[in-house]
Amino acid sequence: MSTPRRAYVIQLPGDWTAEQALATHDVLTEIAEAIWQHYEDPILDLLHGEQGPIEEQPDLFDFDDPIPF
């Protein structure tokens, strides 16, 4: 299942203090880290699916070829 990307416009209060902005940043960072720790593998699976199949680079030399230096 693919989730469409949505553009969100977030209006921040203009009267926050630097401390309030930092506290909000810290909370959001903690939430993001907790989500990543719990859902890392499924998130990566989704991201790989959006980028299409990963093409591996073909071997440039046979395994038994002499090293050219």
Q: Is residue 21 part of a domain?
A: yes
Look at residue 64 in the predicted model and tell me its pLDDT: 75
Contact 10/53 with Cβ under 8 angstroms? Answer: no
First vs last Cα of the chain: how many Å apart? 50
On whether residue 6 sits in a domain, the answer given is no
Instruction: Tell me, yes or no, whether 38 lies in a domain.
Output: yes
Q: What gap in Å lies between CA 33 and CA 27, rounded to an integer?
A: 10
What's the CA gap between 40 and 43, in Å, rounded?
5
Question: Is 26 part of a structural domain of the chain?
Answer: yes
**pLDDT number for residue 41:** 93
Q: Is 67 a domain residue?
A: no
Domain for residue 58, yes or no? Answer: no
Q: Is residue 42 part of a domain?
A: yes
- Per-10-residue mean pLDDT of the chain, 69 residues long, equals 71 95 97 96 86 68 72
**pTM for the structure as a whole:** 0.56
Total domains in the fold of the chain: 1
The domain in which residue 25 lies consists of: 17-51
